[in-house]
Amino acid sequence: MAQDIVNLNSQKPASSRKRQAIRILQVTDCHLHTDTEWKLAGINTQLSFEWVMSLAERHKAETDLLLLTGDLVHDASAIGYTRLKRYVEDFGIRACCLPGNHDKPDMLRTHMQGRLVETPKEIKLGNWLIVLLDSTLPHSEGGHLSDQELQTLDNALGNHPEHHVLIALHHHPIHINSAWMDKMALDNPAPFLSILNRHGNVKGVVWGHIHQTFDTELNGIKMMGTPSTCIQFIENQDKFGISTTPPGFRWLELLPDGRINTGIERIAELPPGLDLKTAGY
């Protein structure tokens, strides 16, 4: 059964306790599939995911948490989720997941539960709280935060004023200067941002969905979008376009004083087969 709150402080490795900073790897938009040979815009998503995770493995010894932020299995299949869970558990780092618009939240919560894999709403790590939100809207590529999710966020922030907070969701809560993608953003950002402004402990918001890097600050809060482990979209472009930029992941270092250091790492090159003529996904 899924736990709403996970306390990982007792499980932090000695190396992490010594350096105090909390290290997270965010992996997102894997678009895995029942068929391991399935391709998105010509790219085998399973192969691309495995290449990215091979790069991430270099950080394993210093990592406290693997954060998977949606669109994990493109066909939302039990086979796909089970394979992903097995892969993540073999990777050997505690992992927490949330759904994206290509996932089925109930399927994800059912199959992404295991020895090292969970789907909580809150994670405690050191003096940090990580809040995971479900921004999916049935039958929509865009996002929405239900009243229940907004209340979950408000309660979490109010109940832990002594914790610095990182919020994770799938859909972007602010526009990213890309008209076609911004049509699929969170459709009710105002109450979300109002809750953030009402509490002083939110230090960062991180998401997937956009298949590109995005970094800015809003009222002193880091706002971060992260590349996919498969295809990337062209940044700052109003029409759909596929980029030749290789996939990757985001690392985050959460410091005891509330600061966040972060960066993107990418594999050296795309797996073969990218189809730049693809009109959508």
- Mean per-residue pLDDT of the chain: 94
User: Is pLDDT of 17 > 50?
Assistant: no
User: Is pLDDT of 252 > 90?
Assistant: yes
Query: What pLDDT shows up at residue 33?
Result: 98
Query: What pLDDT shows up at residue 4?
Result: 81
User: Is pLDDT of 135 > 50?
Assistant: yes
DSSP per residue over the chain, as a string? ---SEEE-GGG--HHHHHH--EEEEEE----B-SSTT-EETTEEHHHHHHHHHHHHGGGGGG-SEEEEES--BTT--HHHHHHHHHHHHHHTS-EEEE--TTS-HHHHHHHS-SSSEE--SEEEETTEEEEE---B-TT-SSB---HHHHHHHHHHHHH-TTSEEEEE-SS-SS--S-HHHHTTSBS-HHHHHHHHHH-S-EEEEEE-SSSS-EEEEETTEEEEE---SS-EEPTT-SS--EE-PPPEEEEEEE-TTS-EEEEEEE-SSPPTT--TT----
Residue listed under structure tokens 């797996």: 271
Higher pLDDT among residues 18 and 24, named by residue: 24
Query: What pLDDT shows up at residue 3?
Result: 61
Q: Which two tokens stand for residue 55?
A: 């790069």
Give me Rg for the CA atoms of the chain. Answer: 17
User: CB–CB of 254/164 below 8 Å?
Assistant: yes
Query: What pLDDT shows up at residue 109?
Result: 96
User: Is pLDDT of 20 > 90?
Assistant: no
* Annotation: CATH topology of 5-9+20-266: Purple Acid Phosphatase; chain A, domain 2 (3.60.21)
DSSP per residue over 37-66, as a string? T-EETTEEHHHHHHHHHHHHGGGGGG-SEE
Residue listed under structure tokens 């002083």: 200
Q: Which residues, other chains included, contact 159 with Cβ-Cβ below 8 Å and sequence gap of 6+?
A: none
Separation of alpha carbons 42 and 26, rounded Å: 24
Residue listed under structure tokens 């200067």: 177
User: CB–CB of 157/202 below 8 Å?
Assistant: yes
Tens digit of each residue's pLDDT (9 = 90 or more) over 75-101: 999 999 999 999 999 999 999 999 999
Tens digit of each residue's pLDDT (9 = 90 or more) over 29-67: 999 999 999 999 999 999 999 999 999 999 999 999 999
Query: What pLDDT shows up at residue 15?
Result: 44
User: CB–CB of 11/58 below 8 Å?
Assistant: no
Tens digit of each residue's pLDDT (9 = 90 or more) over 136-164: 999 999 999 999 999 999 999 999 999 99
Query: What pLDDT shows up at residue 8?
Result: 78
Tens digit of each residue's pLDDT (9 = 90 or more) over 259-280: 999 999 999 999 999 999 888 7
**% the chain with pLDDT above 90:** 91
Tens digit of each residue's pLDDT (9 = 90 or more) over 184-201: 999 999 999 999 999 999
